[in-house]
Each structure stands twice: as structure tokens, then as C-alpha cells.
Amino acid sequence: MSALPGTTWRMLAQRAATGELPKGADAAWDAAVGYLGRFKPRCRIFLRRAEEVLALEKRFIDLADEALQEKARELRAVFLRGRETGEILREAFAVIREVAFRQLGMRPFLVQVAGAMAMEAGCIAEMATGEGKTLTATMPAVIGGWRGRGCHVITVNDYLARRDAEWMSKVYAFCGLKTAYIDGPMEPPARKEAYQADITYCTNKEVTADYLRDRLSLGRLRGLPSALLARIIDGTGSGTDRVVQRGLAYAIVDEADSVLIDEAVTPLIISGQAPNPEQVDAFKQAADIASQLERGKHYKTSERYREADLTAAGKKTLTDWAASLGGIWAGTRRREELVVQALTAKEFYQLGKQYVIQEDKVVIVDEFTGRLMPDREWRDGLHQAVSAKEKVAVESPKDTYARVSFQRYFRLYRRLSGMTGTAMEGAAEFWQIYHRPTVRIPTNRPCIRVRTPDRVYATADAKWRAIVHEIERLHARRVPVLVGTRSVGASQRLSQLLQVKGLEHSVLNAINEAEEAEIVAEAGKPGHITVATNMAGRGTDIKLGDGVADLGGMHVIATERHEAGRIDRQLFGRAGRQGDPGHAQAIVSLEDELVIRHAPSLSGSLRRRFGKTDREVSGRLTRRVFDIAQRRAERLALRQRKGVLRTDDWLDEYLGFAGSEK
């Protein structure tokens, strides 16, 4: 980086600080810097430093607890003053490593220390499933807590935030640090107290929502100096008394690919009710109209972009029908928007896939994690259009009070790092969006998982028959099987097929996610069959039952390829943890959504070629089409995420809502 021209480097640094993405030549230069940075031997550097940490073990192993605590207090004082050196940092890691052994009975391995070193250096560390990322995170978290400004450990759900905080609290307490976690139902006073802790475990949604609420409380105040000045002038809290967070000093993001990439396609919005009965009626009328329109005649669709457009005949038909409705329907643009949203809901949003119905309401299912999002709604009337289609309660669209993208929020932290089992595929994006380099940490034991080529079938029916037959075959040998599906509907369909065959199994999807940890933990037992959406296993370890290793380990079957290759690898990573044997394979069809949506011409040609045959059609070309579709899907998703961030930049520039916290 020292070779960068001074003016260019200052410009890139300034844009990184303000949240603005570089453009044009600057973007190309920045991407080149990130690409060249991948050739730096970071892994070798961190492993060497980790070896130096392990070499210090004998210095602390015989210390009494009181002496070890005193050493921790001395180190905390050094970090609080900002006087740490490389030698002090290695000593601190050695102390924390010894504390972990005494409090938890687990002494971090060399690779765990290397991963912790990478995170302390501000990297995204890729550590394979089952390598102990929760324990690894305690080392940089303690350092962050010792610096005195607070450390947020971000995870993917409330259960994991609570579990990890409670599990690791003994380590933190021994090091003189207070630990807390944020839970969804917590009231503001409890949240404020939790954020005052040295280390706070929380989810990305909760911490970002609290940030937005704090910004609303501060109103036009742009930061601490203006807040203090306002307090001096008017003698009141000026909103600062309602603020719960104490600043954004350091964040360690668990499952960084899910939090920083997958979920970043949708901004977090705080909104309020805006009753409008006429508008609610219009959504219901639009759903009725959409149900009568014919695809191809009245409208056309784009599978790739999930868009619907009215044809000339459709617009004329709509104009004729709207003449008798009046009101909102009198305006050409407004009525077409209403019907297009209704058509989008009709064509591209399916019950059991993008959403479920609970308590007479549409509840979104996160397409990347398979989890329910009861507090989220689609924007621009889409949520109302889906509700009207399903004939459940339709509420008026809400007024937006504040919004921020996850990309923008996490770029506000002074220090940011993360860990995940699948980071390298997102290395370019981690750099472009967050300026975080990525480093792959080797496994503690060699991975011996067998990944066999995809099996491809011409039709979905043939695929499901093949999957059930494979499950039967493996179950007869008492091999545990974990089957990953992309949607609730697919998990339910497979469950029904297994019931017909008399095969006992567990189902894990968005509807019964409360039992997630228990179901996933049982997946490695002999003969166990687990059907799960792609949230399966994140944060929960799967251990093999007695005798399973001799059978070749757990077998993972993917029933579809996902739109991000990282998610496929995350699912396959459930098998073969910590040197265990395991097997992974995808069984797919040319009628899967991925290839229909992102490689329509090539997949359509192959479907016509093979027809409705039940036989397997695996080959170089049929497998290649899935790779092509996946790359196109990843490029499209990246453009969408950058679009969300650029919208935030535009809102910041023209509406002046969210300023830099740096």
C-alpha cells in the first residue's frame, strides 16, 4: 500500500471513513489493492505469531490463580493506556489461553490462536466448521474489553448470543471484564446496562436497530460534541439520556459471511403506523385483478430479476377495469404500481419459501438462513401485496422514520473483524465494502471429508425420488444423514416422502426453529435422518455417535445448489469436522430455481434435450450449468448490495440523517 500515490491513498482512506464507495478509476485501483493483498502470506504470519504465543505457555502454567489474575490486571492497564506492543499482545494471548483452560477446560489450539491473531489484526478469518470459533473469539474480545471502549460480539440469533455470553463469561470474569447480552424483548434500561458491559453479545439486527433508535433520540445532533454542547445550552438531556449504546468501538462478527454479505441485501428500517383504509382496500382489489390477468397476454415476467411488467394489452385491460373503481385507481401510474406489485407477489413469492403464515400474518423467511423474521416487512407495498394474495390481515404501509444498511452500519465501527467457515468466496466483497482482508486458517486436523460430484436429474420429481432412495440406502447401513433444503416447502415435501417410506426423521425449518440446537446436535447419531433448511448447524456442533466414524461419518445431501457457493460449502462443512470422516454431495435437477432463474437459456435447452426421463443425466455440461448460474446469481446479489449502500449514501448526502461516527 505504501506504493499508492499520496493523493489517491488519502482519497480512498477518506471515502472508507465516510462510508462512500469509491467510483470509476478509484474503484478499480482499490479493487486491485485488495486483490494484490491476497498474496500477502498472512496465514503464515499469524501461525508464526501463534507459535510464539504457545511458547509462552510454560511462563503461566504454574502460576496460582491469584497471580494469573494479577497479570491480567497489569495487561488491562497497558491496553487501557494504548501502550501495547507486539510482545505485550503475544503475552496477553498466552494469559487468556491459560485462563480458558482453567475456567473451561479448553486450551486453544495453535490454529485457534492464529485465527484470534487474525481477528485482532482486523481480518476476516475463515475457520472450518467445528474448529471452535466461539472459543477463538474470546481472545480478541478480551483485548477489546481491556481497551475500555466496549466490544460487541455479533452473532446470528438471540439464542447464540445468550449461549455464548453465558458460556464464555467465566473467562471474561477471570480477566476482570463484565459480560452481557442483548435479547429481543429487553427494555431500554436493560439494553443500556448491557451495552455498558466490557463485552456485549448481540445480533446484527438488534445492535443496528438500537443504533437507529439512538439516532432518532439524538435528532439533529450529529455526534458527542454537539450533544454535550446542546446539554450545556438548554440544560436538558437533549436526547442523550435515551441513548442506549455508548459507541461503536470494536465488533467481532461471527458468521461474518451471513451477517456482512447475505443479510446486507436488505436495509434495516424503523417505521411507524400510518393508517390508510383506502390504500388497504386498494391492495385487496389489486390482488383480485392480478389473479384474473394472464401471463404472456397481460403481463410478462423476468425470472432472474423477479419482476413483472404489464403489456400494452394488460394496461388497456387495467384501464377499463379501473374506470369503475375510482379513487386511487384513477391515477395511471399508481394503479399500475399496485397491480405490478400484486403480480410480483403472485409470481415470485411462494408460501413456504419466501414466507409462512402465522397468526393470520405473513412472516418473512430469510432465504439465506431459513429463519423467520417476524419483525421485518418487505418494502414499497410488497408485504401488503403478499398479504392480500393470501387473504390474511393487510396493514397499511408504514412510514419510515430511519433506515441504514448493514454495510453502512458495520463500517462505522473503529475496529471490525470477523470469522466464518466460508469467507474466501467473499474475499473481494469483504475488501470492497469493508476494507477487511480475508485469511484462511488451516484446520487443527486434516479434513478427510469426501465431496463427490453433483448428481443431476432432468426433472424435480426424478430428483426427489433419487434423494429418497439414497437416504434409504444410507439409513439401511445406519449412516446418519443430514439433508439440506432451500425452503420450508421443500423440507415439508421431503418429510412427506420419507413418511410414505416409513423412515423416521427430524425436520428443522423456520416453523420449528426453537428446537434448532437440539435437533442439529442429534444429527450425528447412528441411523439418524435430519431434514433441514439452510440455517442448519450454524453455531451448533454436530458430534458423531458411537461407531459412525467406522461407517464413513455423517453424509450430507444438498437438494439444491444455493445462489451463493458459500452456503453450499457451509452445509457440506457439517460433515467431516475436526478430522472426522464424512461425505457430501448435491442431488439437483434442471428444474431447480437456480438454473431456471439465472441460466434460463442453457437449462431450457438441456431440459428439452433430456425431456422427462427418470434416469440420471449427470455430465460435464449439466454440472457446468449450475456453476454458471451460481456465478451469475452472486454477481447480481453483489450489485444489489452495492445498490443498497449507494442508496444510503444518497440519503446521507441529501437528507443528512446518518453521519460518520468516526
Task: For 533-560, write each residue's pLDDT tens digit.
Answer: 865 446 667 889 999 999 999 999 999 9
pLDDT at residue number 89: 96
Structural domain boundaries in the chain = 7-12+21-268+406-440, 274-397, 450-629
Q: Would 7-12+21-268+406-440 and 450-629 be classified into the same CATH topology?
A: yes
Is residue 405 within 8 Å of 398, Cβ to Cβ?
no
pLDDT at residue number 533: 83
pLDDT at residue number 224: 54
Q: d(Cα 556, Cα 7) in Å, to the nearest integer?
A: 52
| Fold category of 274-397 in CATH | Pre-protein croslinking domain of SecA (3.90.1440)
pLDDT at residue number 530: 93
The CATH class for the domain spanning 450-629 reads: alpha beta
Residue 360: count other Cβ atoms within 10 Å of its Cβ. Answer: 10
For the stretch 227-271, pLDDT in tens is: 555 555 555 555 667 889 999 999 999 999 989 998 887 788 887
Q: d(Cα 343, Cα 341) in Å, to the nearest integer?
A: 5
Amino acid at 622: T
Residues of the chain with pLDDT under 50: 1-18, 536-537, 656-662
Cell of residue 219, nine digits: 435528532
Task: State which H helix or E strand residue 361 sits in.
Answer: strand 361-365
Cell of residue 315, nine digits: 394496461
- For residue 332, the 8-state DSSP code is H
CATH of 7-12+21-268+406-440, one of 3.40.50.300, 3.40.50.2300, 3.40.630.30, 3.30.200.20: 3.40.50.300
Three-state helix/strand/coil letters over 521-571: HCCCCCCCEEEEECCCCCCCCCCCCCCCHHHCCEEEEECCCCCCHHHHHHH
Is residue 261 within 8 Å of 405, Cβ to Cβ?
no
Cell of residue 239, nine digits: 436526547
Distances, alpha carbon 230 to alpha carbons 216, 376, 495, 659, in Å: 16, 34, 61, 17
Is residue 407 within 8 Å of 208, Cβ to Cβ?
no
Q: Please give the torsion angle defined by the CA atoms of residues 101, 106, 107 and 108, in that order, rounded to the nearest 10 degrees.
A: -140
Q: Please give the torsion angle defined by the CA atoms of residues 95, 97, 98 and 100, in that order, rounded to the nearest 10 degrees.
A: 120
